[in-house]
Amino acid sequence: MGALEAAPAPRRRGAVRDVLRGAASPVLFLGPAVLLIAALFLAPAVVTVVISLTNLSVATGLTHYRWIGVANYGQIAHSPWLVLVLRNTVLYVAATLVLFNVGFALVLAILTAHLSERAAGVFRVLWMLPRITPSVILALMWRWFAAEPPYGTVSQVLGLVGIPGHNWMNAHPWAFVVALNGFVGASFGMIIFSSAIAGIPRDQYLAAQVDGASAWQQVWRITLPRLRWPILFVTAYQTLSLLTSFEYILLTTNGGPGFYTTEVWSLYAFHLALSNYFGNTQFGLGAALAAVLVVLGLGASLVYLRVFRFGELVAAPRIEVN
């Protein structure tokens, strides 16, 4: 098809072989990836949905479970904690996203763009540290950071100016959870925004400077408009990441303090499906919660994809050579 038609027509036997090879190429190239993803990502996803239709738990074992239809979903809908957990999830995702993953990331990217490459590199490495620090360690560091006197650093520093110390994680669990996750998440947006800013032609800024535009005006008039798509991408991608990530909450407040104060949807699913205080881990119910989370994520994706013009992203190659 396409441009190769301009080349001399191959002999007949060659044409047959070309067609065969044309069909073989996608299989050859995609085969390994498709096999892996199908066996160890897609299949588990399907199995999870299937499990959600059973009462599979530690008590039933892998042999004595029953099919119970959508009863797990009914239980979720009627759960007295539904509203609380949903509210927590929205608060967690929205606050972390707006304040840190996009907000802080933008501030960092714009500020570092004004520094020399070397100085900017130092700050980038510092901000990447939480991302490349294993979650177990980072959670430990933040717990000590916020600990009560005499151990906590925050209490010690604030003590110097006479503010009484206490355990800041327990006193302000939401601020703690959002800050911890935000300090990890900000670097993703920072790097994407930085590279987008680096791609803006320098002359635009020079021209603006000649016209006497202030630094603030340059940011507002030149930089931000060019960052529209990167901002949308970070928002969409990080919404899904935040919806499904709970490792740091698990390793710090574990949904508390008190009853379900910082329990988000994915942590709720984890608690029911993999670590239950009552010793009877409910795989079925946990799987149903995971499935609902996927629907929430899909809803968000569909909205974002529409804004993103997904059609353009997956548009077929313009010229095809087979």
For residues 262 and 256, the answer to whether their CB atoms sit within 8 Å is: yes
Q: What are the percentages of helix, strand and coil residues in the chain, rounded to 5?
A: 70, 0, 30
Whole-number minimum distance, CB 171 to another protein, in Å? Answer: 17
* Number of separate helices (H) and strands (E) present in the chain: 18, 0
Whole-number minimum distance, CB 172 to another protein, in Å? Answer: 14
The pair of structure tokens assigned to 30 is: 């995609």
Please, which residue, 37 or 163, has the CB nearer to another protein? 37
Instruction: Tell the burial category of 170 from Cβ atoms under 10 Å away from its Cβ (0-12, 13-18, 19+).
Output: middle
Please, which residue, 72 or 245, has the CB nearer to another protein? 245
Whole-number minimum distance, CB 74 to another protein, in Å? Answer: 19
Whole-number minimum distance, CB 243 to another protein, in Å? Answer: 7
Please, which residue, 83 or 314, has the CB nearer to another protein? 314
Please, which residue, 7 or 9, has the CB nearer to another protein? 7
Distances 185 to 227, 242, 278 between C-alpha atoms, Å: 18, 9, 33
Please, which residue, 84 or 300, has the CB nearer to another protein? 300
Greatest pairwise CA separation for the chain in angstroms: 89
Helix, coil or strand: residue 200: coil
Instruction: For residue 222, give the nearest of 202, 236, 246 by alpha carbon.
Output: 202
Whole-number minimum distance, CB 117 to another protein, in Å? Answer: 8
